Structure 1
Amino acid sequence: MPQITLDQGTVGYQDTGEGGEPVLFLHGYLMGGGLWEPMVERLAPDFRCITPELPLGAHHIPLNRGADLSLPGIARLVADLLTALDLRRVTLVGNDLGTAIAQIVAARHPERVGRLVLTSGECFDNCPAVWFRSLVPAARVPGLLTLAFQALRLRAARRLPFAYGLLTKGALPHDLIDEWMGTFFRDPGVRRDCAEFTRHFGPAALLDAAERLASFDRPTLIAFAREDRIFPYAHGERLATLIPGASLEAVPDSRTWVMRDQPALTARLIREFIHTTPAGAAPAGTTPA
């Protein structure tokens, strides 16, 4: 996996596709970029697909001690990554907690964002979602978060609502989850990063982003799952009325992981969105990619 060193630390990422416009995918909590593989397989022939490993508990390299692991801090890390990779007019795609991060990047660091795609994930005050709010106080007790995640090493436990069970209508990608759990339990620095993020996890930055997105001027696609039991479709509707000119698409027969439950449809929506909308302005003093 390629790596790049930022002020916050070293970040791993996958970079797939020989050419075309850049598309950067943001994953959720205790997950990795491999979650997006069905999208990358379908879109890489036409676009450059980048999937960074965000420091949310399944990343392979701990960040530097003292790195800002708040939601705004991770949004800044994403913005710094775009700069370090010299990506311009990026189509930024989020899912689950990655949707919250994408909103904050678009609201606070829009310079290199050309388009925004928000799929089912945290919005407004649903951050963290109800099923996962107990993780915040758990992270404030040394070792308790690690103890709580021990159950996720058992495949049978992963279908529980407070695990991965409500994220997909299909079979869980156990090989991927095995990798995520292995990374979390193998490295104390990764566990430290995860606990640091979790103990500060809250809606303030996302509510601020919602206010700022009312003046966001880049093309935006909102593709929320109708049957999501964690992130209501109504939040997608609300985002669509909030962000100027945003288009809303309902993803049927899917829960949060639209890239897994409806990969062909989700890829088609993203491809058509890119092909039919001009990317936003490039930052001053740069040449469009």
Structure 2
Amino acid sequence: MHVELSAGTIEYTDTGGAGPAVVFVHGLLMDGSLWDGPVAGLGGLRCIVPTLPLGAHRLPMRADADLSMPGLARLLAEFLERLDLREVTLVGVDTGGALVQLLMADDAPRVGRVVLASCDAFDNFPPGLTGKTLFLTGKLSPSLFGAFMQQLRLRAVRRLPIAFGWLTKRGDAAAARWIRPLLSQAAIRRDTVRVLRAAAAAPGILLDAAERLPGFDRPVLVVWATEDRVMPLEHGRRLAALLPKGELAEVADSYTLLPLDQPAEFARLVRDFTAG
């Protein structure tokens, strides 16, 4: 499916149905397929999964699109409005969790519940070696950025800590798929460099958002991987304590990308939370 938004055309999937709507938000250099495993375990819920312009999208954005972090958060809000979704459960991991926090800090009137899974938070932006390396490569021209990223064709490079190695234990096949648009389309490389440069120019954005998160008065489930080497577990505990209706669930045997490493457990947590 496609929807026309102010920044351009966004692809998304929608399982349909009358159940509560759950919208899933992926991270940098990822697309909506990140959520295939959990969505498969959430029959009865209406699962909606957009692919945002974060580097693995296949349709380039308009030349004047705002691809800063606040701009992407507004694009997510526009997506909810365009589909006329209300009382949504909004689920974000990695950079997607950062975008969800920016929405929460601005009240997010269409959101009824939130799941924040291992994600950028507080001063961990860019997060870990992976994020810092990506932000540095964003200083390159789009053509040089593309040449640098060609190395990710090799599994050995994808599994390095500066790439996807500390983000997922079991998701290399997905990572190999995510990088294809970037490697093959100049316009996607241009979009990605714009995202990285804008994000690098706002290092304190999540600290500012955190100051406003206590004003978000709806239920929030914080799900964190206990073995996460990119997003500190202490940040998950801190987020849960900061939110008036926050609760914490810790998941073993996973790195940051819980939807890839523990899809069944993640689906169970989301289902129980939406039912509650």
- Normalising by structure 1, report the TM-score: 0.91
Per-residue Cα deviation, 1:207-251 (whole angstroms, up to 9, x for no partner) = 221111111011100010111000011000110111112001111
| Change beyond 3 A, Cα 1:79–1:106 | same
Q: Is 144-153 or 93-102 further displaced after alignment?
A: 144-153
SS of equivalent to 2:62: coil
Q: Distance between the aligned counterparts of 2:175 and 2:167, measured in 1? A: 13
The equivalent residue for 1:267 is: 267
Per-residue Cα deviation, 1:142-163 (whole angstroms, up to 9, x for no partner) = 1332222111111221110011
Match of 2:78 among 80, 90, 115: 80
The amino acid that maps onto 2:224 is F
Q: Distance between the aligned counterparts of 2:206 and 2:2, measured in 1? A: 28
SS of equivalent to 1:111: coil
The equivalent residue for 2:135 is: 136
- Report sequence identity in percent: 47
Instruction: Check the 8 A contact 1:95/1:118 in 2, yes or no.
Output: yes
Q: What are the residue-to-residue correspondences of 1:59-138 with 2, within 5 Å?
A: 59-131=57-129, 132-138=131-137
The equivalent residue for 1:226 is: 226
Q: Distance between the aligned counterparts of 2:232 and 2:179, measured in 1? A: 27
Q: Distance between the aligned counterparts of 2:31 and 2:140, measured in 1? A: 25
The amino acid that maps onto 1:4 is V
CA RMSD of aligned residues (A): 1.3
Q: Deviating runs (4+, > 2 A) in structure 1? A: 134-138, 176-179, 202-205
The equivalent residue for 2:6 is: 7
Instruction: Check the 8 A contact 2:155/2:172 in 1, yes or no.
Output: no
Instruction: Check the 8 A contact 1:17/1:46 in 2, yes or no.
Output: no
Instruction: Check the 8 A contact 2:25/2:96 in 1, yes or no.
Output: yes
SS of equivalent to 1:133: helix
Q: Distance between the aligned counterparts of 1:219 and 1:29, measured in 2? A: 26
Instruction: Check the 8 A contact 1:135/1:145 in 2, yes or no.
Output: no
Post-superposition offset of 1:199: 0.9
- Structure 1, unaligned runs of 5 or more: 277-289
Post-superposition offset of 1:109: 4.8
- Structure 2, unaligned runs of 5 or more: none
The amino acid that maps onto 1:114 is G
SS of equivalent to 1:76: helix
Q: Distance between the aligned counterparts of 1:48 and 1:251, measured in 2? A: 24
The equivalent residue for 1:280 is: none
Q: What are the residue-to-residue correspondences of 1:5-84 with 2, within 5 Å?
A: 5-43=4-42, 45-84=43-82
The amino acid that maps onto 1:166 is W
The equivalent residue for 2:248 is: 248
The amino acid that maps onto 1:15 is D
